[in-house]
């Protein structure tokens, strides 16, 4: 798929269990003073890498402003309903840090700094998973 000519890509990844550990979960080795990701955060990145690798484009979005929409669809628990906003942890910005880093590694774009506009949400869903849409922002009109 040539993303630059399409100007958009979108996909849904069904996932029975979404990664909840984030890059904020770090530990410090008291002897060496090195900071490292906890095993749970490494596992979350590995899970994202495995799921996203199937959707990686042949060519990355290069040197263009991007709009990215990410919907984290968590399995319904308790008295929650389909589409209800999830207002508990993990925080969206922490979840997306790992997601964007993995997407950069896999070649979705040349640099996640290209993301100029984003929409991130967490909801409960009958179909748990991750929805992602990437669009080039028209530089002249400022529109997607």
pLDDT in tens, 62-96: 999 999 999 999 999 999 999 999 999 888 888 89
Looking at the domain assignment, is residue 144 inside a domain? no
- Structural domain of 64: 3-136
pLDDT in tens, 92-129: 888 898 899 999 999 999 999 999 999 999 999 999 99
Out of 19-23, 73-77, 87-91, 136-140, least confident range: 19-23
CA angle 13, 15, 21 (to 5 degrees): 110
Mean per-residue pLDDT of the chain: 86
Looking at the domain assignment, is residue 143 inside a domain? no
The dihedrals phi and psi of 39, each to the nearest 5 degrees, come to -55, -35
* Sign of the Cα pseudo-torsion (58, 62, 67, 71, in order): positive
CA dist 112 to 75, 79, 115, 118, Å?
28, 37, 6, 11
Domain holding 78: CATH number? Answer: 3.30.1330.70
pLDDT of residue 41: 82
């Amino acid at each position: 798929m040539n993303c630059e000519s399409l100007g958009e890509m979108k996909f849904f990844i069904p996932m029975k269990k979404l990664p909840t550990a984030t890059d904020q979960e770090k530990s410090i080795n008291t002897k060496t003073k090195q900071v490292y990701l906890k095993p749970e955060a490494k596992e979350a990145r590995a899970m994202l890498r495995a799921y996203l690798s199937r959707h990686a484009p042949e060519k990355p979005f290069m040197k263009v402003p991007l709009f990215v929409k990410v919907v984290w669809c968590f399995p319904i628990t308790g008295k929650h309903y389909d589409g209800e906003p999830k207002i508990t942890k993990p925080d969206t910005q922490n979840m997306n840090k790992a997601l964007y880093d993995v997407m950069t590694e896999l070649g979705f774009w040349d640099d996640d700094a290209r993301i100029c506009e984003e929409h991130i949400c967490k909801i409960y869903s009958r179909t748990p998973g991750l929805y992602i849409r990437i669009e080039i922002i028209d530089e002249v009109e400022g529109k997607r």
